[in-house]
Amino acid sequence: MVIGTRFFYMQLLTFPIYQIRKGFVILDEIIKQNPMFELTKKILVRVSFDPLLFQKELSKAIKWISDSEEIQHLRDWCMKEFGAVYPSIIQKAFSTQKAK
């Protein structure tokens, strides 16, 4: 039993994404295991030099994502990464998404 417990804790320590909410540890497995979500982030970084291209790719990404938690995660990530450069584009893209 000690070996199994030790193995379990080693897996927890090596799992990269944790969030603490209301005293519980929630693993963001959907976001971690979604390679398309990671690809979307890479594309947005690569097109961030052009505001129109960034807006187009962001709107495509929002249309592609169906899970509200992933959309919120994308919004938070976009504001963190590009909020200083494109705040109006990000707000407009996500407000348009909520209206639909």
Domain positions in the chain are: 1-28, 34-99
| Residue type, position 60, single letter | K
Stated pTM of the model: 0.65
Rounded average pLDDT over 28-44: 76
Residue 100 has pLDDT above 70, yes or no: no
Q: Using alpha carbons, list the distances in angstroms from residue 61 to 53, 79, 80.
A: 12, 15, 17
Rounded average pLDDT over 52-81: 92
The pLDDT value recorded for residue 55 is 96
86 backbone dihedrals φ, ψ, rounded to 5°: -125, 55
The pLDDT value recorded for residue 70 is 87
Assign 9 to helix, strand or coil: helix
Quick check: 31 and 38 in contact, CB under 8 A?
no
